[in-house]
């Protein structure tokens, strides 16, 4: 999927969710509901990290990227 776009929305009850669309506007991912906006943002970043890990594994054979910075 080239150039995906993530958009955060708020629901009528004050919760948040995100939608990931492909370049042609087709919905690829709709998240669960989050009570806080920053949790929706964290969900997007988590998805990005997972995609990067899978891409790296497919290109160079590395199966795990370990973050020791924390």
**How far apart are alpha carbons 53 and 66 in whole angstroms?**
10
Q: Find the farthest-apart pair of alpha carbons in the chain and give their distance in angstroms, rounded.
A: 45
How does pLDDT run across 26-35, given as a tens digit for each residue?
999 999 999 9
In-domain check, residue 32? yes
Angle (CA) 33-38-31 rounded to 5° is: 30
Domain housing 13: 5-60
Q: Look at residue 67 and tell me whether its pLDDT is greater than 80.
A: no
Q: Is 40 exposed, middle or buried (0-12, 13-18, 19+ CB in 10 A)?
A: buried
Indicate which CATH number applies to the domain containing 45.
Answer: 3.30.160.160
Q: How far apart are CA 45 and CA 31, in angstroms?
A: 12
What percent of the chain stands above pLDDT 90?
57
**What is the arithmetic mean of pLDDT over 32-52?**
93
Q: What is the pLDDT of residue 33?
A: 97
68 belongs to a structural domain: no
The answer to whether position 36 is within a domain reads yes
Instruction: Using the predicted structure, report yes or no on whether residue 64 has a pLDDT greater than 70.
Output: no
Residue 70: inside a domain:
no
């Amino acid at each position: 999927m080239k150039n995906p776009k993530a958009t955060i929305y708020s629901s009528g009850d004050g919760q948040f969710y995100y939608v990931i669309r492909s370049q042609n506007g087709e919905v690829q991912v709709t998240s669960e509901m989050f009570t806080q906006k920053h949790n929706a943002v964290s969900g997007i970043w988590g998805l990005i990290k997972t995609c990067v890990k899978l891409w790296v594994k497919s290109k160079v054979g590395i199966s795990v990227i370990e973050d020791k910075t924390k």
